Structure 1
Amino acid sequence: MSITHLLILLVVVVLIFGTKKLRNIGSDLGGAVRDFKKGLDGDEATKSSDPNERLRADPPAGNTQNQSQHETEQK
């Protein structure tokens, strides 16, 4: 593709989407790339962080059934 083909393509894209929409798409794409890079860096940071800092898991499913039975008995 030559430069004239690229310029024609750019003009067609601007006419279809408009400059405001392209600006929003560009900022959203930039934010997504930035968050992705933070996520990659965050994986390494969590490995070297304090071992006491962990995510808490949901309680076991059996425990929630006992609670719901207990609540129905109280009613």
Structure 2
Amino acid sequence: MLSEERSDFARTQTTVLRYERYRDGESTIVDRPWVLHWYTRSGFESLAAAAGLIAVSALETPGASDLQFRLQAAG
């Protein structure tokens, strides 16, 4: 991990990771951002609907604001 930046306003956390590969005496080094985005319940349900899915249940994590959704194909 090279760096990490969190934006509560944008609801994202970006971590820059370095990947290194050594093969046949040569090395390849690539830095890539890994973006984690969190959504409100209604925002996630809208994304699921746009993908043709519906949330059939939501399980709350005790003591946290996390939700786990069970999705199925709409229609």
Q: When the two structures are superposed, what TM-score results if normalisation uses the length of structure 2?
A: 0.22
Flag the structure with higher helix content.
Answer: 1
Higher RCO structure, 1 or 2 (CA under 8 Å, sep 6+): 2
Flag the structure with higher strand content.
Answer: 2
Point out the structure with max Rg over C-alpha: 1
